[in-house]
């Protein structure tokens, strides 16, 4: 049945963890407020127009993706860069390993990239004794702790300062210090050495600009700038869906990304990088490689009804506003991406039957769709996925809905059956029941009652009342 294999224990654990609940709710709450303050009609009057423009641009680009990919490649090459096309994460790792070997590089610095998480890049590289150090503070902490990102934009949301102090003391040999500023300075110091010693810098890319052969990287810390500028080789890895047609389209997206993610009109740094250093430039990498990754994106592209899933610019707004994410956090979602976006793309990448419960873990409240800067209609896609999950199923649930549909299309039977049920049901206190008699303690009733009281059927249904009223007149 579609609810099968729900990771109930894990969900319960998360919900019962008061501290974690507080951390998730507060952090996301702050991000919600920050976003609201910079997209309000007073501050950004054309916010809704921008969303529509962004959606149109993404739709157009994806519908003509082959053209733009080729244009991108031509322009990257023209500026002295090199494009590598990869079907899978394995090919990406092979490329990087090969390059590192050729250039004699053993240390790699990395800036935050969910795409590289997706393909387990660090793990793959480590298997071959290549050290890939995360330089985004949150990601660095997680790397030391051997954990995955908790949230697309705030990866270490679940960690306390004490945990960080313990971690640094243990892994870096520094004194135990719970002052967050000091922890940050420690990380800065340690990572600074890495930036300056690394042979290769690996970044993601928020946008790929076709007419410029450029990657755009957006950040607040400065580690992406350092990663792409200090080492002699810069490799940018991006999914093929990150394309936008023109540099002049960038403002639309930049105005939406920072605001939607963290409530910033612009993040501290935006880098528009097109290739290695040009002759005469004072600094910059000698080599630039752009890795274009498929890893299943062409599969999503092929499904026109759900193609808009690829519009995502990874702002994290849907996570922040999702009442379910705010309760269960990032680790309860399978796959790399959590929250509403994860709920629609993971089933598409992995197959709906891999985690059949995932599209159902939503109340369909629509808060995500309301805040998505590129107007992905997440609830609609969840409903599509749900119908795919149950397609061809013939279990108890289908039987139940079939029976209900039959009743619902046979009004006399419906009236009769519901009247019977009402007569047989216990009355309850003020029409509410705390528990049900033993023969009703199953399935949906049990589940409902685990959390709240249940209303007893009314002694007289509305239709019965109306019947009586019809007999005696409206004044009744």
Partner 1 sequence: MTRGQVAVFVTCVVDQLFPKVGTAMVEVLERLGYSVDFRERQTCCGQPAFNSGYRDEARLLARHFVDVFRDAEFVVIPSGSCTSMVTHHFAELLPGDATAREVASRTWEFSRFLLEVARVEDVGARYEGAVTWHDSCHALRELKIHDGPRRLLANVRGLELREMDAATECCGFGGTFSVKFADISGAMARTKIDSILRTKADTVVSADCSCLMQLQGAMRRAGVGMRTMHLAEVLASR
Partner 2 sequence: MSREAILERVRTALGRKPGDVPAPPPPVYLSQVRTTVEQRIDRFTAALEALAGRVIRCPSRDCARDAVNEIIAGKRVIASRASYLRECGIEPEWTECSRADVGITGADYALADTGTLVLLSGAEESRLVSLLPPKHVAVLPVSRLIDSLDELFVRVPLPADATSSMVFITGPSRTADIEQILVRGVHGPGDVTVVLVDD
The residues in 435-474 that bind partner 1, with binding defined as CB under 8 A, are: 443-444, 447-448, 450-455, 457-458, 460-463, 465-467, 474
Q: If binding is defined by CB under 8 A, does position 69 make contact with partner 2?
A: yes
Which of 3, 15, 32, 85 is close enough to bind partner 2 by CB under 8 A? 85
Closest by Cα among 335, 357, 332 to 345? 335
Q: If binding is defined by CB under 8 A, does position 434 make contact with partner 1?
A: yes
- Please report, as residue ranges, which positions from 181 to 210 form the binding site for partner 2 (by CB under 8 A): 181, 183-184, 187-188, 191-192, 195-196, 209
- Sheet with 233-239, strands from edge to edge, namely 82-86, 287-293, 233-239, 200-203, 107-110, 131-134
Least Å distance between CB 375 and partner 2? 14
- Please report, as residue ranges, which positions from 18 to 57 form the binding site for partner 1 (by CB under 8 A): 21, 25
CA 210, distance to chain mean position in Å, is 25
Residues with Cβ < 8 Å from 284, sequence gap 6 or more?
A: 229, 276, 277, 278
Task: Using the rule CB under 8 A, give the single segment among 281-289, 355-363, 384-392, 406-414 that binds partner 2.
Answer: 281-289
Least Å distance between CB 3 and partner 2? 32
For residue 169, CA distances in Å to 144, 188, 412 come to 11, 15, 73
Nearest residue (CB) to partner 1, 162 versus 434 = 434
432-433 and 454-455 strand pairing? antiparallel
Q: For the chain, how many residues are written?
A: 476
- Please report, as residue ranges, which positions from 82 to 121 form the binding site for partner 1 (by CB under 8 A): none
Q: If binding is defined by CB under 8 A, does position 420 make contact with partner 1?
A: no
Nearest residue (CB) to partner 1, 104 versus 392 = 392
Half-sphere exposure of 371 (CA within 13 A, CB side): 30
- Please report, as residue ranges, which positions from 380 to 399 form the binding site for partner 1 (by CB under 8 A): 383, 386-391, 397-398
Task: Using the rule CB under 8 A, give the single segment among 11-19, 66-74, 392-400, 405-413 that binds partner 2.
Answer: 66-74
Least Å distance between CB 223 and partner 2? 5
Closest by Cα among 291, 290, 349, 333 to 90? 291
Q: If binding is defined by CB under 8 A, does position 82 make contact with partner 2?
A: no
- Is residue 274 within 8 A of residue 22, CB to CB? The reply is no
Nearest residue (CB) to partner 1, 334 versus 366 = 366
The count of chain residues that interact with partner 2, using the rule CB under 8 A, is 99
Which of 60, 199, 414, 440 is close enough to bind partner 1 by CB under 8 A? 414
Least Å distance between CB 270 and partner 2? 4
Q: If binding is defined by CB under 8 A, does position 132 make contact with partner 2?
A: no
- Is residue 155 within 8 A of residue 112, CB to CB? The reply is yes
Q: If binding is defined by CB under 8 A, does position 266 make contact with partner 2?
A: yes
Residues with Cβ < 8 Å from 39, sequence gap 6 or more?
A: 47, 259, 260
Which of 10, 33, 43, 63 is close enough to bind partner 2 by CB under 8 A? 63
Q: If binding is defined by CB under 8 A, does position 257 make contact with partner 2?
A: no
Q: Which residues of 268-297 are buried (b: 16+ CB within 10 A; e: fewer)?
A: eebbebbbbbeeeeeebbebbbbbbbbbbb
Q: If binding is defined by CB under 8 A, does position 230 make contact with partner 2?
A: yes
Which of 93, 133, 226, 324 is close enough to bind partner 1 by CB under 8 A? 324
Q: If binding is defined by CB under 8 A, does position 422 make contact with partner 1?
A: yes
How far, in Å, CA of 94 to CA of 262, rounded? 35
End-to-end CA distance of the chain: 46
Task: Using the rule CB under 8 A, give the single segment among 3-11, 157-165, 374-382, 443-451 that binds partner 2.
Answer: 157-165
- Nearest 5°: the CA angle 467, 471, 476 is 85
How far, in Å, CA of 31 to CA of 212, rounded? 33
């Amino acid at each position: 049945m579609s609810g099968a294999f729900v990771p109930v224990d894990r969900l319960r654990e998360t919900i019962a963890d008061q501290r974690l609940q507080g951390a998730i709710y507060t952090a996301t709450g702050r991000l919600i407020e920050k976003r609201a303050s910079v997209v309000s009609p007073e501050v950004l009057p054309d916010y809704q127009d921008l969303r529509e423009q962004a959606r149109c641009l993404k739709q157009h680009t994806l519908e003509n993706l082959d053209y733009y990919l080729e244009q991108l490649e031509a322009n990257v090459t023209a500026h002295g860069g090199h494009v590598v096309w990869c079907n899978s994460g394995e090919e990406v790792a092979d490329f990087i390993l090969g390059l590192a070997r050729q250039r004699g590089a053993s240390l790699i610095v990395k800036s935050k990239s969910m795409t590289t998480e997706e393909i387990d890049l660090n793990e793959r590289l480590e298997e071959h004794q290549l050290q890939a150090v995360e330089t985004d503070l949150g990601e660095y902490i997680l790397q030391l702790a051997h954990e995955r990102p908790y949230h697309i934009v705030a990866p270490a949301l679940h960690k306390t300062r004490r945990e960080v102090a313990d971690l640094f003391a243990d892994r870096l040999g520094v004194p135990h210090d719970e002052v967050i500023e000091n922890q940050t300075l420690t990380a800065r110091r340690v990572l600074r050495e890495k930036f300056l010693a690394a042979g290769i810098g690996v970044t993601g890319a928020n946008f790929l600009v076709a007419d410029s052969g450029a990657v755009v990287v957006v950040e607040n810390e400065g580690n992406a700038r350092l990663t792409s500028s200090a080492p002699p080789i810069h490799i940018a890895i991006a999914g093929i869906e990150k394309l936008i047609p023109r540099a002049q389209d960038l403002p639309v997206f930049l105005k939406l990304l920072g605001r939607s993610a963290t409530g910033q009109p612009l993040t501290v740094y935006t880098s528009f990088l097109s290739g290695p250093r040009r002759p005469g430039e004072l600094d910059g990498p000698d080599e630039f490689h752009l890795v274009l990754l498929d890893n299943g994106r062409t599969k999503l592209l092929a499904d026109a009804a759900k193609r808009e899933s690829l519009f995502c610019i990874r702002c994290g707004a849907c996570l922040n506003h999702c009442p379910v994410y705010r309760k269960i956090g990032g680790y309860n979602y399978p796959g790399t991406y959590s929250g509403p976006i994860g709920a629609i793309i993971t089933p598409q990448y992995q197959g709906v039957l891999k985690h059949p419960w995932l599209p159902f873990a939503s109340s369909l409240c629509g808060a995500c769709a309301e805040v998505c800067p590129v107007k992905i209609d997440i609830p609609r896609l969840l409903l599509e996925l749900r119908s795919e999950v149950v397609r061809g199923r013939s279990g108890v649930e289908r039987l139940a809905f079939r029976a209900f549909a039959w009743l619902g299309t046979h009004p006399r039977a419906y009236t009769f059956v519901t009247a019977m049920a009402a007569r047989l049901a216990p009355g309850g206190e003020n029409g509410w029941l705390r528990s049900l008699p033993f023969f009703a303690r199953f399935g949906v009733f049990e589940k409902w009652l685990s959390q709240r009281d249940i209303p007893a059927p009314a002694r007289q249904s509305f239709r019965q009342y109306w019947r009586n009223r019809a007999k005696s007149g409206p004044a009744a």
